[in-house]
Amino acid sequence: MSGTNSRAATVRAIEAAAVVAVIRLKDAGWLKDVIAALEDGGIRALEITMTVPGAVQLLREIAPAAGPGVLIGAGTVTDADTAARVIDAGARYVVSPVFRRAIIDVCHRHDVPAMPGCFTPTEILDAWEAGADVVKVFPATALGPGFLRDVHGPLPDVKLMPTGGVTLDNAGDWLRAGACAVGVGSALVDGAAVAAGRLDVLTANAKRIMASVARARQSTSGEAPADKGA
């Protein structure tokens, strides 16, 4: 299938967005405001996890209203039935903390990218050969950008998205190491700030991580870095 909503087009859009905001909230009432705050900071790919109360219904309400260029996906999807439900609710991509072939099969039947979670090179290759559109390296907390470089040595074509251990300031390091995008949760969506109603903190976080992304892209494009003293 070709077109703006095809799997390939969605993956390209995620790569262009560079940052996937992983949204976990105890109080779902904040969800729309959190999304708006992140968008104000430049985030264009947002993952609503199944740990958010009423996540599937919220997806059904929010996904159709997403602005131009904004990608709403579902995260923490661990079985095929849930994958089918979130896709029906409007999820543009499906992210899982684990690798389940059945989830990939459901996603592909609906022309939606599947992004399973893997930790070892063997898992990563198994998931890629099973059709994963992007492999979520999770948890990346115990790893580092060098891990991506090492994996890309023998597996240069695999699209990797580290999640866990990605901060506002090191996102660019992961991209320079070969990540196609990064997944960022608590470092971006500060739970204490949300609880206090300080959504401006989320916008500031988003701007900070997107600045890290911009510097990484500038350095990899061969352009001279901006003068820090300017």
Say if CB 29 and CB 197 are below 8 A apart.
no
In our burial notation (b when 16+ CB lie closer than 10 A, e otherwise), range 141-170 reads eebbbebbeebeeeeeebbbbbbbbbbbeb
DSSP annotation of 113 reads -
Q: Which amino acid is at 179?
A: A
Q: Which residue among the candidates 136, 159, 207, 228 is catalytic per the annotation?
A: 136
Asked if 207 is an active-site residue, the reply is no
Name the active-site residue from 26, 32, 47, 129.
47
The residue written with tokens 């916008």 in the block is 203
Annotated active-site residue 136? The verdict is: yes
The residues, any chain, with a CB within 8 Å of residue 12's CB and separated by 6 or more, are none
145 preceded by cis ω (within 30°)?
no
Catalytic residues: 47, 136
